[in-house]
Amino acid sequence: MGKVCTLSEAVARYVKSGDTICFGGFTTNRKPYAAVYEILRQGQKDFTAWGGPAGGDWDMMIGEGRVKAYINCYTANSGYTNVSRRFRAAIEEGKLTFEDYSQDVLMLQLHAASLGLPFLPVRLMNGSGLTEHWGISREEREKIDSVDNDKFVYVDNPFNPGEKVIAVPVPKLDCAVIHVQKASPDGTCIIEGDEFHDVDIAVAAKRTIVTCEELVSDEFIRRDPTLTRIFGMCVDAVVHAPHGAWPAQCYGYYDVDSKAMTEYDKASKYQDANDAKRQLAKAAEKAQKAAEKAPGDARAAEMAAKAAAAAKGAEDGTAVPETFQDFLNKWVYGVKTHEEMLDKVGASHLISTKNVPGLGYAGKIPERTC
């Protein structure tokens, strides 16, 4: 059976509920969003997620309740949302089973998985909250098959007796999903720019889905093997998905869609309309109290009036702000395919995110002043 298929076929075949899964990319760079949206549409859930340097990808999965355990080190659309909001709300409301590692350790764990190591000794996390606190307790861990029973174990360095090092488990990935610049039908991939942990997870996972900006022939991709990064035999499905990292950036191709990132930043403040009502009512109450405390403060009074109007608009339904749910209905559930979504984003807008050769991002060429 050939590997080239549609996004819907790839996700249906290779992403299963209950998977231990990892996405490629780095916060707002080369995130496999097209596949993430397709997973959301198809409904797979109960993931044990190795977040890595995550952003909106895992924030959406968490907001949609698809995550059984979140092994994380950083979740932010850096520069737009400093702490991903559905991730943050889920932890603050006690709704997410999560574990914290440092990014160094988590990336080394993924690398160790690609090397097939049994466990990984590190000199990291010593003395910090990362060793003092377990996000998932031993008792809980024993109940979750996909999570190791220990977050870490202190071991003696066998080659330097007396040196205490930290042994961490190595993830057993069922599935990896990555987005690359070029792939060919046999699965060979070219990644331009930083590979991040993408090559590691493609090797480590039992099943790997690749979406690509350009699908090129097997002959073309191996014209210069110094550029290829992933051996085709590590890949199960190849999907042609131009702009498949939207609204994240993709080196050599396009920049972050600032408009969409800003939209998500605002929308993801509220889970849904009821949450918006609740939060805005609370904010109005707080602003009102502040204004009462400072009589004669015109600015405080103005803020209170603004907050009251926002709360009223949400309450009576005349001005409900866009919510996380609305964002997904608009860009994910409201379209059937990636192509339909691209039509909705619009050709001229997508073109405005194109990278300028030489600069490496979408922007104005600095003018030389003489």
Partner 1 sequence: MPDYTNYTKQEMQAFAIAKNIQANQIVIVGTGLPLIGASLAKRIICPSCHPIVESGLMDCDPVEVPRSVGDNRFMAHCAVQWPNVRFIGFEANEWLHGEDRLIAFIGGAQIDPFGNVNSTCIGDYHHPKTRFTGSGGANGIATYCNTVIMMQHQKRRFIDQIDYVTSCGWMDGPGGRERAGLPGNRGPQMVVTDLGIMKFDEDTKRMYLAYYYPFSTPEMVQENTGFEIDVSRAQLMEGPDPEIIRIIREEIDPGQAFIKVPREK
List interacting residues with partner 1 (CB under 8 A): 26-29, 53, 72-76, 78-80, 82-84, 87-88, 91-92, 94, 100-105, 107-108, 111, 123-130, 132-133, 135, 164, 193-197, 199-200, 249, 251, 255-256, 355, 359-361, 363, 366
Instruction: Provide the minimum distance between the beta carbon of 200 and partner 1 in the complex, in angstroms, as a whole number.
Output: 8
Could you write out the three-class secondary structure of 5-58?
A: CCHHHHHHHHCCCCCEEEECCECCECCCHHHHHHHHHHCCCCEEEEEEEECHHH
Instruction: Rank residues 346 and 360 by Cβ distance to partner 1 and give the closer one.
Output: 360
Instruction: Provide the minimum distance between the beta carbon of 90 and partner 1 in the complex, in angstroms, as a whole number.
Output: 9
Instruction: Provide the minimum distance between the beta carbon of 208 and partner 1 in the complex, in angstroms, as a whole number.
Output: 17
Instruction: Rank residues 65 and 334 by Cβ distance to partner 1 and give the closer one.
Output: 65
Chain centroid to CA 333: 18
Instruction: Rank residues 155 and 319 by Cβ distance to partner 1 and give the closer one.
Output: 155
Question: DSSP characters for 78-117?
Answer: TTTBSS-HHHHHHHHTT---EEE--HHHHHHHHHHHHHT-
Instruction: Rank residues 68 and 88 by Cβ distance to partner 1 and give the closer one.
Output: 88
Instruction: Provide the minimum distance between the beta carbon of 110 and partner 1 in the complex, in angstroms, as a whole number.
Output: 8
Instruction: Provide the minimum distance between the beta carbon of 186 and partner 1 in the complex, in angstroms, as a whole number.
Output: 24
Fill in the DSSP letter of residue 333.
Answer: I
Alpha-helix residue ranges (DSSP H) falling in the chain: 7-14, 33-42, 56-63, 85-92, 103-115, 129-132, 138-143, 198-204, 218-221, 258-267, 273-293, 298-316, 324-328, 338-345, 347-352
Instruction: Rank residues 219 and 224 by Cβ distance to partner 1 and give the closer one.
Output: 224
Alpha-carbon gap, residue 175 to 156, rounded angstroms: 33
- The two tokens of residue 268 are 């993801």
Instruction: Provide the minimum distance between the beta carbon of 218 and partner 1 in the complex, in angstroms, as a whole number.
Output: 26
Instruction: Rank residues 130 and 221 by Cβ distance to partner 1 and give the closer one.
Output: 130
Instruction: Provide the minimum distance between the beta carbon of 364 and partner 1 in the complex, in angstroms, as a whole number.
Output: 9
Q: Indicate the SS3 state at residue 1.
A: coil
- The two tokens of residue 223 are 């014209």
Instruction: Rank residues 201 and 287 by Cβ distance to partner 1 and give the closer one.
Output: 201
